[in-house]
Amino acid sequence: MIERARQYATKAHGDQMYGENPYTYHLGKVVEVLERFKVTDPDILAAGWLHDILEDTPTTVEDLWDEFGFSVSALVDAVTDGEGGSRKERKARPYALIPRIPGAIFLKLADRIANLEASLDEGHDRLRKMYTKEHPGFREALYDGETALKMWEHLDRIFDPVGVR
């Protein structure tokens, strides 16, 4: 299923780019982060390949349900932004859904970590600044004190490498 998700995402994202790389570069990095933090659930790993597909392609949640079933489609849907004019409005939907869908927090954290690590590696400060500003609200909405603690610790270290928190 994971390989099928990779192929499906590659086809759906087509010629889209992630900076100077094909978009699948980012999707692969999200899956790598999940694996680095010992996430082995095939549904979550498949959703790693598919996590941006509803926002960035004509693919619908029904398409994902038909192809991958309830769990994968629910995970991808949970991390998908909602409608709204501002970023804060668009993020309200996933912030409400993620805590209710088992495994969705791993997916969202892996996406956030992959984006931040790419931003730091490539010297792009815009994304880091935006995520730094959002981090307190992100943490308040999604941190439950028990799920994905190693991922949260890693994310916190990215924002506060010297432990000033």
Lowest mean pLDDT among 30-34, 65-69, 125-129, 137-141: 125-129
Lowest mean pLDDT among 16-20, 51-55, 93-97: 16-20
Question: Which residues carry out catalysis?
Answer: 55-56
Q: What is the predicted pLDDT for the residue at 127?
A: 82
Q: Does domain 2-159 have CATH number 3.40.30.10?
A: no
Mean of all residue pLDDT scores within the chain: 94
Tell me the β-bridge partners of 19.
none
Lowest mean pLDDT among 10-14, 132-136, 146-150: 132-136
pLDDT surpassing 70 at residue 31 = yes
Amino acid (1-letter code) at residue 107:
L
Q: What is the predicted pLDDT for the residue at 164?
A: 42
